[in-house]
Structure 1
Amino acid sequence: MQAQLDEIWYLQMNIGSFTDDLVPAVVSLLRGTPNLCTLYMCYKPTSLDPKSNTSGFDMEYWKKQNLDFISQVQDVTIELSAGFNGIELARYVLEHAESLEKMVIRYLTRESNVRRKLKNSNMISNAAVTFEKYESSVNPFW
């Protein structure tokens, strides 16, 4: 059963790698927060972070989820680890969040292709987008 969290407008999630088994749980949570205005998805590395199983969900998957919050989210920060699941979510936000004002995309230094992939997104808003590199052992949130 889907929990409705209508009154939530700010959400911060601290996750490890954005693995294929984690994506449906994140979608379920986001579906229940239709009034979300601020989203922070922080990468917190763990010793169990898988190096694979992080690329099963593409843009078409995100489009099919009909996430209500996307129309009014204004501020998004997403920290990306390895794999494409997080990149595809970031691209989905850039291309569908019409009220987006600010987006910060933090990515691991070794994942330098992130900037190129996301800069080619067809943004629907005039949001200020910032790209920041970070080392996996130095997380700005911890």
Structure 2
Amino acid sequence: MYPGITSAEIGTAPPPVEAAEPGQWTYEFPDAHSADLGMIAVPGSDLIQFATDPVAIVANSEALGLPLPNTLEVLVVLDRAVTTFSDRAFFAFADDDATGSVSIRRFDDPPADRSILGKVVVIHLPFDPASASTSGTWLEEGDVSM
């Protein structure tokens, strides 16, 4: 879980399974070597479908700086294949210290003292009724019982 995940843990996550054709699905049967890392299912997205080497990390919304009324656990999907810096994207960086700590953030200029572990492709938030807007949307005022 971020914060607290190490660059070694991101690097040793199992490789992705081959993506299914759009509109289809695939099965994955974990073996003894990947059972402790787990698998997740997320809503379909081109951002994830076309990621070359995706890995999901559970993160604390407050640690990511997300302005939510409650602190939530969110999923951060990284594409480990994208390690070329862009000032318009968020990345997971290895902090290059003895602990192997990781920071997820955006920089204006490439940091010389950090290596890129992967680009953030999507952050998936769980449905939280307290965070849902009930005015100015299709939801009826006071009705968040989806």
TM-score by length of 2: 0.22
TM-score by length of 1: 0.23
User: Comparing both structures, which one devotes a greater share of its residues to helix?
Assistant: 1
Structure number with larger C-alpha Rg: 2
